[in-house]
A and B are shown apart, each in its own frame.
Chain A
Amino acid sequence: MDVMTMLYFLISFMIVAAVIAVEARDLLSAVLSVSAAGAGLSIVFLLLGAPDLAITQVVVEVLCLVILIRAVVTRKDVTVELRSNTFAVAAGLIFCALLCVVCLSAFSGLVPFGAPRMTMSNPYLLESFARTGAANAVMGVLLDFRAYDTLGEATVIFASIIGAYVLLRHVGRKPETGH
């Protein structure tokens, strides 16, 4: 099986998993479907020759699965039945079809898949090992040529995690009543 067939198979698997994740009645099934979509994405990265991204994707996916199941999903969650709205479904389908048509006309103008016009990144790839000594060119770009961007990303993670600490702290929180 060549790479493109595998890619189409994996992408359709991911779409099915995402639809199941949105539509599933049970919260646990939805979480597992999200993880299945993420695992498919990591295999896609591996097939396209991006092992750094594949490793990061698979470990983050495992961590997300553990945190979601352990700390979010509880047995006390109840599912509420919603009546299906005909107008909403019809509007959604119409907009999906419209998006497909627009995307098809837009994608026909792109460069062919797997052959990007690399004018800016070619010097990075050619000079990465000679100038930084990093045999892994991804790290050479991330932490040397574009290290300022990485500092910004680290700051974003830092700020979001500090926000999570503040929202979930128990110092200074009023004791809950009820339960």
Chain B
Amino acid sequence: MRGMTPIVKTVTSLVSAFILLYGIYIVLYGHLTPGGGFAGGVILACCFILLVLAFGRVFVGDVISERSPYVWDCVGALAFLAVALLGYYGGTFFHNVLAQPGNYRLLSGGTILPCNIAIGIKVAACLFGVFVVLSVFRARRHGPSEG
């Protein structure tokens, strides 16, 4: 509940921003380099879990409420479906209406980039939500001193 030792807290506060940035990079550049929405989303979830483990659930609870993982999970799933429905603008379901083949830019993949972002948000939110729910359940089962 109170978090870990000052050593862990200091290292976490130094490192967590870089882990977050790496996860965002893996999500955004999934169509150019290895990675993608799922792997990047899991890295983002790992970063949130690291913060919860190091600083305790009460500290993180001020920033991220227990409900917000559910909400972001649904937002990611609906955004992915919205990108799929956007394909009807070009004729069919999941048609890649924005593709600009030939250059290695961030936007060259067309709808692959928004799909990756939606999947990244969804995976990060749902895996972090599972961790939050499990640790809440465990704290309630074993009394409030742990967690």
Q: Which residues of A are interface residues toward B (Cβ below 8 A)?
A: 51-52, 54-56, 59-60, 62-63, 66-67, 70-72, 74, 76, 129-136, 138-140, 142-144, 147-148, 150-151, 154-155, 157-158, 161, 164-165, 168-170, 176, 179
Contact = CB atoms under 8 A, between A and B. Distances in A.
Given A151-B80, A179-B143, 19 more contacts: A52-B34, A56-B36, A59-B39, A66-B49, A66-B53, A71-B135, A132-B112, A133-B31, A134-B108, A135-B33, A135-B108, A136-B32, A138-B36, A140-B109, A144-B96, A144-B99, A157-B123, A161-B129, A164-B130
A154 B133 contact: no
B38 A56 contact: yes
Given A59-B43, A139-B109, A147 B84 contact: yes
B1 interface: no
Contacts of B77: 154-155, 158
A66 B47 CA distance: 12
B133 A164 contact: yes
Interface of B, helix, strand, loop or mixed by DSSP:
helix
Interface of B: 26, 30-36, 38-39, 42-43, 45-46, 49, 53, 70, 73, 77, 80-81, 84, 93-94, 96, 99-104, 108-112, 115-116, 119, 122-123, 126-127, 129-131, 133-138, 140-143
B45 A133 contact: no
A143 B101 contact: no
Contacts of B127: 63, 161
B34 A143 contact: no
Nearest to B133: A168
A67 B49 CA distance: 9
Nearest to A58: B39
B102 to A, nearest CB: 7
Contact of A133 (B46, B103, B123, B133): B103
A27 to B, nearest CB: 15
30 contacts: A52-B34, A54-B34, A56-B42, A59-B39, A59-B43, A63-B42, A63-B46, A70-B131, A71-B134, A132-B99, A132-B109, A133-B103, A133-B108, A133-B112, A136-B31, A136-B32, A136-B35, A139-B30, A143-B116, A150-B115, A151-B80, A151-B81, A151-B94, A158-B77, A161-B127, A164-B130, A165-B133, A168-B134, A168-B136, A169-B133
B39 A74 contact: no
A70 to B, nearest CB: 7
Contacts of B46: 59, 62-63, 66
Contacts of B116: 139, 143
